Amino acid sequence: MVKTESFPIAKIYVPVKRRKSLNPQVVREIAESILEIGQLAPILVRPDEDRLVLVEGLHRLEACKALGEKTIIGCLVSAQVARQKPRLPQSAEAEAEHKKMERLRRLRLEKEAAEKLANSSESAVVLRERQESNIRSTSRSKSNRLDGRTSASTPKNLSDWFTKQERDGFRY
């Protein structure tokens, strides 16, 4: 079993290849998690002369840096073990806490998505109401202008219609 200890962040060297895989969004999420429940998974480092080389845990390391931490919890592994990239066994408590945090994060994301959907649905309802209002007003104005006539010149009954047709020269 590998023993966890606290390492000064300033002494940890991150290889250039590892730095390229840094995802700022993941760093933010991990930083939020560390603020809420602390660091659950230790990073892995190996000794190299007077410094430590990061083996595993780039996002955790960057999250701790972003939070202003001076030290980070990690495990010291040999160069041989570092090449194998071992997975550290987690305690049942840590695993349960990790699952709980993942579930809470998923719920938070679902809530944010629902709020966005509700806001966009409200916008869609307002837009639909405006469109319906425009359709009603347009259909009213069209019904008032049938065949180019206004409501004042539209016959009110059948005899008025026949009179108008005779006046306009229509034969039946």
Q: Over 90: is that where the pLDDT of 99 sits?
A: no
Alpha-carbon distances, residue 166 vs 39, 157, 160, 162 (angstroms): 94, 15, 10, 6
Helix (H) or strand (E) holding 138: helix 92-144
Cα end-to-end distance, the chain, whole Å: 107
Q: Over 60: is that where the pLDDT of 140 sits?
A: no
Give the pLDDT band of residue 54 (cuts 50, 70, 90).
very high
Contacts of 35 (CB under 8 A, 6+ apart): 67
pTM higher than the cut 0.75: no
**So what's the pLDDT on residue 111?**
84
Q: Over 80: is that where the pLDDT of 62 sits?
A: yes
**So what's the pLDDT on residue 61?**
93
**So what's the pLDDT on residue 100?**
73
The segment with the largest mean pLDDT, out of 76-85, 140-149, 162-171, is 162-171
